[in-house]
């Protein structure tokens, strides 16, 4: 058990380091949604960003976007897309961020799906103290106001045990099932990168990890079903 907890702690530390490194390399201005390289089947989509320090200028395909709302350093608003590739440019002070994404009307496979509160414009459902501000309750408790708790297991997966749902799930949206932050296998190896784990993954051929392991918890060792 101690060894399992140690591995979980090490995994969480690794993910935290990766996220911190990404934030550091990207500066203060961040584009949270829609993500760079994403595919969309409808328009408009919702822009979500953070870290705007002073003036804020948003343009898409060279045209200025109106209707962007700011709350402190956070900002959000609608983006009208044109069929094909769309290029978003956000400027704030000395910083700028650019991303591009595809719009294929009525596309259904591989499209980016927004979390229901975002689609419904209910930002305060997850940000009760205001957009851009940290929730006054723990992350897991906030998620469990809508989602059934997954903590009734003898053994909990490290991120869930730490109450950090967003290590695996993106609260704004995703193109992956269950709003995962990336593909299942790629996500699992972010933490499970030990040589023994790699060997096991290679032997599993095309199987996805959740086919055998419960990603939330289990009564059995290795979170087996």
Same domain for 11 and 85, yes or no, is no
Tell me the pTM: 0.82
Quote the domain boundaries for residue 178: 2-24+150-223
Burial class (CB within 10 angstroms; exposed 0-12, middle 13-18, buried 19+) of 163: middle
CATH assignment at residue 78? 2.60.40.10
CA distance 14 to 116: 30
Same domain, 179 and 209: yes
- Same domain for 19 and 47, yes or no, is no
One domain for residues 180 and 101: no
Nearby residues of 12 by Cβ (< 8 Å), 6 or more positions away: 158, 159, 162, 164, 167, 191
The model's pLDDT over 76-128, given as tens digits with 9 standing for 90+, comes to: 999 999 999 999 999 999 999 999 999 999 999 999 999 999 999 898 889 88
Q: What's the pLDDT band for 219 if we cut at 50, 70, 90?
A: very high
Q: Are residues 18 and 39 in the same domain?
A: no
Contact 114, 171 (CB under 8 A): no
Q: What is the CA radius of gyration of the chain?
A: 19
CB 114 within 8 A of CB 93: no
Whether residue 138 lies inside any domain: the answer is: no
If one counts the domains in the chain, the total is 2
User: Same domain for 179 and 108?
Assistant: no
Tell me if 9 is assigned to some domain.
yes
Q: Is the pLDDT of residue 73 over 80?
A: yes
Question: Residue 100: inside a domain, yes or no?
Answer: yes
pLDDT at 71 > cutoff 90 = no
> Cβ of 209: how many Cβ atoms within 10 Å?
19
């Amino acid at each position: 058990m101690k060894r399992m907890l140690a591995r979980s702690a090490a995994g969480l530390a690794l993910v935290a380091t990766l996220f911190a490194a990404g934030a550091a390399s990207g500066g203060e201005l961040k584009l949270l949604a829609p993500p760079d390289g994403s595919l969309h089947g409808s328009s408009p989509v919702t822009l979500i960003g953070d870290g705007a320090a002073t003036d804020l200028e948003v343009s898409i395909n060279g045209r200025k976007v109106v209707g962007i709302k700011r709350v402190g350093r956070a900002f959000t608003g609608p983006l009208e897309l044109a069929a094909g590739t769309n290029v978003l440019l956000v400027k704030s002070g000395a910083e700028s961020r650019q991303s591009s994404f595809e719009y294929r009307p009525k596309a259904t496979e591989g499209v980016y799906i927004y979390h229901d509160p975002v689609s419904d414009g209910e930002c305060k459902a997850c940000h009760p103290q205001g957009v851009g501000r940290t929730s006054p309750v723990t992350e897991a408790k906030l998620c469990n106001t809508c989602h059934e708790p997954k903590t009734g297991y003898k053994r909990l997966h490290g991120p869930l045990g730490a109450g950090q749902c967003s290590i695996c799930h993106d609260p704004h949206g995703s193109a992956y099932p269950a709003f995962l932050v990336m593909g299942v296998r790629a996500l699992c190896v972010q933490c499970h990168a030990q040589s023994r784990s790699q060997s096991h993954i290679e032997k599993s051929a095309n199987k996805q990890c959740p086919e055998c392991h419960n990603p939330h918890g289990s009564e059995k060792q290795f979170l087996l079903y």
